[in-house]
Amino acid sequence: MSTNQGRVRATHRKEAPARNDRAICLIAVLGGCTLALPASGLATEWDFTPRVTVGVEATDNVRLAPRGQEDADLIGHARPGFTLRRDGARNDTRVDYQLNHRTHLSESSEDRTTHMLRARNQTEVIEDTLFVDVTASRREQATSLLDPVGIGGSTPRSNIEETSYYSVSPNLQNEFGGFARQDIRYTYDERHYHRSNRASSTGNRAEYTLDSGPMFDRVFWQLAGFYDRLKYEDGLEGEFSEISATLGYNIGRTLRVFGVVGEEFNDYETLRDENDGSFWEVGVGWTPTPVTSVEARYGERFFGKTRALSATHRSRRASYGVSYSEGITSTRDRRDFQFFDVSQLAELEGMTIEEVFDQYTFEELQLLFASALVTQEALIEGFYLTRSARANWRYDTGLSVFGVTAYQTRREAEFQIGEGLFEDDNRRTGVIAFWELTLGPRTTTELSSGVSRTEFLGTDREDDFFYLRASLNRQFAPDLRGSLSYRYQQRDSNSQLNEYRENSILALITKEF
């Protein structure tokens, strides 16, 4: 059962146009949403912060080649970018952009220029009633799991592609007195690939929910439905729709029970005899304190029994979280960043996703992603049964911050097996940990490490990945900062041709204007 608390925010999907006309259209929409508001919604000024990062990196294995084939290199980095933001009473806009250019002293074939973009505009067109969310993004990602995949931008050029993604999502919310609250949302999005033979895709999704209002004391209910259509340029399509009804009861202030019944109407390529039908689910939720929440669900859908668990707890210094989920997804729905899901970072930091982007600069986020676990998610067309489990812990002493995340994800293809990019069926298990220590008012040090195992089910391929990263960061002035970092990464495999080791030292300095 979904709940609405205040204004509903759009999910942060990746978006950015593949052609100039799409970029112009998106800019027009972003600007139009802002200019269409009355003056009261435009009370704040624009905040524009340009910046440039330059640096040099030394590596002993520039192409992440197998042992005996390593080539050392010296790499120059240039990263101009900017942040543009405006926070108004009824309009929030933020654009973060960075151009990443790498120049290699020896291996010029590895030279490349890529883009990193995150833009969003959230506009309240009619007060407390009509909202429009526009988002866009662009990033680089690995093309194949079977080829070398590294952290911190070290993946070889031959295994890198860029993805642009954007969406427009109007949202209508209104209340029927104390009886119910209605939420209607439509989302259109597109994903485009650059320097890739992958098929671009579009998505159309309509959602409706009607939630019980405050006049219902202990009883709560919901009527919901959605329709989701995914279409790839090469012809593959998938349609998913669902209607459901939820009825629950609050047992006191801390315990609730609920049940859900519904019907699914799906049409997508699968080897299953049935890909839709009726479903049911029962669940229990426990919220003993405002900082502790536990919810468990059990049910049955067309693909079998379903289970879900979510538990979180926060204290003054620590936060904990455990989750498990399973369901049919497409790789198209994967989150924005290749190396680390922003939602995972938000959970570790005890923040919302928006607070993460407010707290960290774009450059700092890149460093965080570079030191985090490589999810190694290459995207192809298709639909999958995915089971994911995760546990995390974070502790903040004031001067030090510790964090540990453990996870396991198993993915089974519904139809297409082995597209030549990587085996569709795989299981990944891993642990990452980090430690950040404040050495002084303007100096911090960070240490992070991770280990993961990827098993390509149905084959004898198995890869183990390990990385260690240590950095020293210094704020020289309010608009000038620098960092010096060391990175070690290693992939072991039952095929020696797929193994590699790399050491790297990277020095960066960032100036804001």
Does 176 or 456 have the greater pLDDT score?
Answer: 176
What's phi and psi for 341, nearest 5 deg? -70, 130
Cα dihedral angle (13, 16, 18, 23), rounded to 10 degrees? 150
**Which element (helix H / strand E) includes 6?**
none
Partner residues linked to 212 by β-bridges: 180
Does 334 or 45 have the greater pLDDT score?
Answer: 45
Whole-number Å distance between alpha carbons of 10 and 171: 9
Spatial CA neighbour of 297 closest among 308, 287, 286: 308
For residue 106, give the 3-state DSSP assignment. Answer: coil
**Which element (helix H / strand E) includes 28?**
helix 20-35
The predicted-structure confidence for 379-402, as pLDDT tens digits, reads as follows 344 566 788 899 999 999 999 999
The arithmetic mean of pLDDT across residues 354-366, rounded, is 53
20-to-1, 17, 26, 57, 119 alpha-carbon distances in Å: 41, 7, 10, 33, 16
Whole-number Å distance between alpha carbons of 414 and 473: 46
Q: How many angstroms separate the most distant Cα atoms in the chain?
A: 73
Whole-number Å distance between alpha carbons of 386 and 383: 9
- Residue owning tokens 């970092």: 485
Does 375 or 147 have the greater pLDDT score?
Answer: 147
Of all residues in the chain, the percent with pLDDT exceeding 90 is 57
Look at residue 126 and tell me whether its pLDDT is greater than 70: yes
Whole-number Å distance between alpha carbons of 237 and 317: 47
Query: What was the pLDDT predicted at 271?
Result: 64
Partner residues linked to 59 by β-bridges: 73, 504
Length of the chain: 513
Look at residue 243 and tell me whether its pLDDT is greater than 60: yes
Q: Which long-range contacts (CB under 8 A, 24 or more apart) does 454-457 make?
A: 454/145, 454/376, 454/426, 454/427, 454/428, 455/426, 455/427, 455/428, 456/145, 456/422, 456/423, 456/425, 456/426, 457/412, 457/423, 457/425, 457/426, 457/427
What's phi and psi for 152, nearest 5 deg? 65, 35
1 pLDDT band (50/70/90 cuts)? very low
Segment among 18-32, 211-225, 313-327 with least mean pLDDT:
18-32
Partner residues linked to 174 by β-bridges: 182
User: Contact, 257 vs 251, CB < 8 A?
Assistant: yes
The predicted-structure confidence for 6-59, as pLDDT tens digits, reads as follows 333 333 333 334 444 555 455 555 555 555 555 555 556 899 999 999 999 999
**Which CATH code is given to the segment(s) 20-512?**
2.40.170
Mean pLDDT, the chain, integer = 82
Instruction: Give pTM, 2 decimals.
Output: 0.78
Sign of CA dihedral 193, 198, 200, 205: negative
Query: What was the pLDDT predicted at 80?
Result: 97
Query: What was the pLDDT predicted at 343?
Result: 52
Does 252 or 459 have the greater pLDDT score?
Answer: 252
Query: What was the pLDDT predicted at 37?
Result: 55
Look at residue 356 and tell me whether its pLDDT is greater than 60: no
